[in-house]
């Protein structure tokens, strides 16, 4: 486990510790089921146990950490129920986002989206899951911004954080990565043609395929 804190002079230490642990869980650096030992984490981050304890309490409220009787804190498992709950909400909001983006996306935003899509294509064979996940995030973020609806962007960003753990699961499979790239390409094409019906259909298929891939990955563990 290699944890590094990104210090921020505007944030209290407890928030920096919380952000560090949260990011490590979302990116899979702290694995599902892994115990969170206060003393070990405090030593690794060079802080006292108090901000660690406060961070763990906040992570428990977010559902990223669970407290086990007599065993202490551990990283929450990724369950099929959680996945289905997140993706049901995400699918509804993504369909709305793509519908608005079809009407509002600018030429500049389209070019940016297509550049990201091409970058994703180039990363497929590399196996660098972190870079692939970040490029996937950028692709969807560009569509969100094209809605020109900041309230929707805010809601989708909150959901995106919860999706990060699942993204790392489905990107492990190279066949899934190739399918994902083709779906990105189809979404770009529908947006350029302002074909709202096709765009909504592609986004729905895109999320359904992710759901199947993650469930398959979870069942293999």
- Round to whole Å and give the CA distance between 15 and 38: 16
Closest CA to 32 of 59, 64, 80, 68: 64
Average pLDDT score over the chain: 90
Percent of the chain with pLDDT over 70: 98
Report the range of poorest mean pLDDT among 42-51, 96-105, 124-133, 163-172.
163-172
Closest CA to 133 of 48, 68, 210: 210
Percent of the chain with pLDDT over 90: 58
Q: Classify 17 as helix, strand or coil.
A: helix
Contact 135, 120 (CB under 8 A): yes
Q: Which two tokens stand for residue 71?
A: 């065993």
pLDDT digit string (tens) for 58-97?
999 888 899 988 888 999 888 888 888 889 999 999 999 9
Can you name the residues that pair with 68 across neighbouring β-strands? Answer: 72
**Bigger pLDDT: 207 vs 82:** 207
Q: Average pLDDT, stretch 175-202?
A: 96
Helices (H), 27-106: 38-45, 49-61, 80-104
Say yes or no: do domains 13-75 and 80-220 share a fold: no
170 pLDDT higher than 90: no
Contact 82, 168 (CB under 8 A): no
Report the range of poorest mean pLDDT among 68-72, 171-175, 209-213, 217-221.
217-221
Which CATH number among 3.40.50.2300, 3.30.1370.100, 1.20.200.10, 1.10.10.10 corresponds to the domain 13-75?
Answer: 1.10.10.10
Sequence-distant (≥ 6) Cβ neighbours of residue 136 within 8 angstroms: 120, 167, 171, 180
| Residue tagged 């899951």 (tokens) | 129
Ramachandran bin of 79, using left for φ above 0, alpha for ψ from -120 to 50, beta for the remaining angles: beta
1 pLDDT higher than 70: no
Q: Which CATH architecture has domain 80-220?
A: Up-down Bundle (1.20)
Q: Average pLDDT, stretch 16-44?
A: 90
Residue 190: which pLDDT band, with cuts at 50, 70 and 90? very high
Q: What are the extents of the domains in the chain?
A: 13-75, 80-220
């Amino acid at each position: 486990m290699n944890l590094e804190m990104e210090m921020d002079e505007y944030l209290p230490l407890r928030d920096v510790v919380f952000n560090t642990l949260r990011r490590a869980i979302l990116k899979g650096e702290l694995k599902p089921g892994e115990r969170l030992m206060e003393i070990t984490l405090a030593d690794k981050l060079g802080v006292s146990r108090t901000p660690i304890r406060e961070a763990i309490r906040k992570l428990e409220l977010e559902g990223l950490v669970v407290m086990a009787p007599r065993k202490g804190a551990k990283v929450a498992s990724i369950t099929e129920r959680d996945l289905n709950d997140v993706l049901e909400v995400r699918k509804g909001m993504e369909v709305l986002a793509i519908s608005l983006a079809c009407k509002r996306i600018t030429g500049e935003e389209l070019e940016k989206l297509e550049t990201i899509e091409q970058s994703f294509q180039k990363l497929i064979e590399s196996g660098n899951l972190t870079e692939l996940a970040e490029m996937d995030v950028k692709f969807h973020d560009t569509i969100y911004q094209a809605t020109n609806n900041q309230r929707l962007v805010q809601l989708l960003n909150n959901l995106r954080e919860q999706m990060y753990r699942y993204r790392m699961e489905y990107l492990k499979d190279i066949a899934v990565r190739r399918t994902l790239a083709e779906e990105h390409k189809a979404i770009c094409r529908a947006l350029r043609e302002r074909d709202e019906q096709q765009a909504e259909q592609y986004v729905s298929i895109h999320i359904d395929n992710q759901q199947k891939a993650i469930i398959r990955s979870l069942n293999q563990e």
